Amino acid sequence: MTDVARVVVVDDDRAIRWVLERALAQPDLEVETLDRADRALERLLDSPPDVLVTDIRMPGIDGLDLMAKVREVHPELPVIVMTAHSDLDSAVASYQGGAFDYLPKPFDVDEALALVRRAVAHVRERQRPVSVPEGLDAEIIGEAPAMQEVFRAIGRLSHSHITVLINGESGTGKERVAQALHQHSPRAGKPFIALNMAAIPKDLIESELFGHEKGAFTGATAQRQGRFEQANGGTLFLDEIGDMPAETQTRLLRVLADGEFYRVGGHTSVKVDVRIIAATHQNLEALVGDGRFREDLFHRLNVIRVHLPNLAERREDIPRLARHFLAEAAKELATDVKVLTPEAEAHFTRLPWPGNVRQLENTCRWLTVMASGREVLVEDLPQELREPGANVGNTGDWRTAFRDWADRALAAGHTHLLEEAVPDFERILIETALKHTGGRKGEAAELLGWGRNTLTRKLKTLLPALAEGE
């Protein structure tokens, strides 16, 4: 592809064609306008542009039909759909038809130009090979010192059948560590069975764990094996063990001591050989002190303890984790792998991620569906994640949140804080001002108390995607 990108605009409204022809008249863009989709179709099939911008409602075939016919032959062509009929049906139909993005009329010309540039960048990015991160199929990703300690523990326990207790906040990946402990143990060829205590109603937990006999209770129409029997010879992972009811704690203690149990409603003991791996985000010592967890069971489970760090304690792993989850999401959704820009990747590493690895994984899945281009920009993120310090706490006082951020950054060993904070501070103010002015840069400069030239210079440094076309 040459440096000049070819853009075709199809709209029966002469005024729209005139506006877009002049707005897109940039040194790196070559614009052609056409007034009817049926007349444009043959030309588009023979000589596809880099980007197609089309109205929906036109005489003859409409924009959605045009997009469908062109994409049958050129499926990679990004199509921007615009319409004055800004309703839900039009938006949904556009995206279902494979539109790159949706531009409701009336639109700001700066917004239209930025969207076309995003589509051009998307085309060029697709032509570059994607490097799938090493270790895509790895059980656990982690180069941070805290994660290396977890890996060492898994290695040391690889020849053992010993009980393990995993501590870590919600979303840190406790089940993945439990699976790794099982897969690198002598029991690897036997079942790995997981049960989340917090997800099972209290009156069903004993049946889930130990099974039941036919007729043991209403609805028990047949004998059923519990998780202990299913895991015989292998590993039983009990997640959120701190939520286990007191009576079930007593039964579990007996199984751990004797290696046998009775099914609910049963009179014959069942012997099993099961390794227990338990996990919790709670402080079990505190629960013991409050009388909510049996001390003798705690000591039975707390033979070897593995602590999982939260994501904020392993920030150096965030870029690699994000690349891994983006690749996984693309495979799952049968679409292209999204790539974080350097700015977005740096932004990811500064976010607090209170939901930990699970939140990062869900964000990557969201971006795979919702981000327009192949490259993911900071502005593609959900609103609540766009600002550094998002989700830290909704105190309403940005100065307090900013002071907390500085305290955490210095405690984590960061240096040159002004070089990190000032550009983000200015970037957030610029983005917010542009949002309030609908993208009109002159008015945004006035809101910020800058001259137009100052805003232009800052945009080129901080938000180059928005500065293009100045």
Judge contact between 85 and 113, C-beta under 8 A.
no
d(C-alpha 56, C-alpha 79), whole Å: 12
226-283 pLDDT, tens digit per residue, is: 899 999 999 999 999 999 999 999 999 999 988 889 888 888 889 999 999 999 999 9
pLDDT of residue 392: 41
End residue of a domain, out of 127, 153, 172: 127
Whether 458 is covered by a domain: the verdict is: yes
Q: Which residue has the higher pLDDT, 192 or 389?
A: 192
Q: In which band, very low, low, confident or very high, does the pLDDT at 18 lie, cut at 50, 70 and 90?
A: very high
Give the CATH number for residue 172.
3.40.50.300
**Are 366 and 273 contained in the same domain?**
no
Whether 40 is covered by a domain: the verdict is: yes
Whether 257 is covered by a domain: the verdict is: yes
Whether 74 is covered by a domain: the verdict is: yes
**Are 318 and 303 contained in the same domain?**
no
pLDDT of residue 250: 93
Q: Which of 104-108, 137-141, 143-147 is predicted least confidently?
A: 137-141
Q: Percent of the chain, pLDDT > 90? A: 35
Whether 391 is covered by a domain: the verdict is: no
Whether 270 is covered by a domain: the verdict is: yes
pLDDT of residue 142: 81
174, pLDDT greater than 80: yes
350, pLDDT greater than 50: yes
pTM of structure: 0.62
**Are 285 and 319 contained in the same domain?**
no
**Are 318 and 302 contained in the same domain?**
no
Give the CATH number for residue 449.
1.10.10.60
369, pLDDT greater than 70: yes
**Are 160 and 254 contained in the same domain?**
yes
**Are 29 and 174 contained in the same domain?**
no
Whether 392 is covered by a domain: the verdict is: no
Q: What is the mean pLDDT of residues 187-198?
A: 92
Q: What is the mean pLDDT of residues 90-118?
A: 80
**Are 254 and 336 contained in the same domain?**
no
**Are 165 and 264 contained in the same domain?**
yes
Give the CATH number for residue 119.
3.40.50.2300
132, pLDDT greater than 50: no
Which residues span the domain enclosing 416? 398-468
End residue of a domain, out of 264, 285, 307: 307
Q: What is the mean pLDDT of residues 308-327?
A: 92
d(C-alpha 447, C-alpha 449), whole Å: 6
Q: 242: Cβ–Cβ under 8 A, 6 or more apart, which residues?
A: 197, 280, 281, 282, 284, 287, 292, 293
pLDDT of residue 41: 87
Q: 414: Cβ–Cβ under 8 A, 6 or more apart, which residues?
A: 420
Q: Percent of the chain, pLDDT > 70? A: 88
d(C-alpha 172, C-alpha 281), whole Å: 9
Domains identified in the chain, total number: 4
**Are 186 and 264 contained in the same domain?**
yes
Q: Which residue has the higher pLDDT, 132 or 356?
A: 356
Q: In which band, very low, low, confident or very high, does the pLDDT at 218 lie, cut at 50, 70 and 90?
A: confident
Q: Which of 164-173, 199-208, 249-258, 392-401 is predicted least confidently?
A: 392-401
Work out the mean pLDDT of the chain and round it to a whole number. Answer: 84
383-403 pLDDT, tens digit per residue, is: 888 865 544 444 345 666 677
d(C-alpha 140, C-alpha 176), whole Å: 7
Whether 132 is covered by a domain: the verdict is: no
Give the CATH number for residue 343.
1.10.8.60
pLDDT of residue 356: 92
Q: Which residue has the higher pLDDT, 284 or 76?
A: 284
Bridging pattern class, strands 269-271 and 260-262: antiparallel
Q: Which of 36-40, 188-192, 302-306, 351-355 is predicted least confidently?
A: 36-40
Q: What is the mean pLDDT of residues 144-161?
A: 86
Q: Which residue has the higher pLDDT, 131 or 431?
A: 431
**Are 168 and 222 contained in the same domain?**
yes
**Are 287 and 168 contained in the same domain?**
yes
pLDDT of residue 367: 93
290-314 pLDDT, tens digit per residue, is: 999 999 999 999 999 999 999 988 9
Q: In what order do the strands lie in the sheet with 192-196?
A: 192-196, 235-239, 275-280, 164-167, 304-307
**Are 269 and 145 contained in the same domain?**
yes
Q: In which band, very low, low, confident or very high, does the pLDDT at 413 lie, cut at 50, 70 and 90?
A: low
317, pLDDT greater than 60: yes
End residue of a domain, out of 264, 284, 307: 307
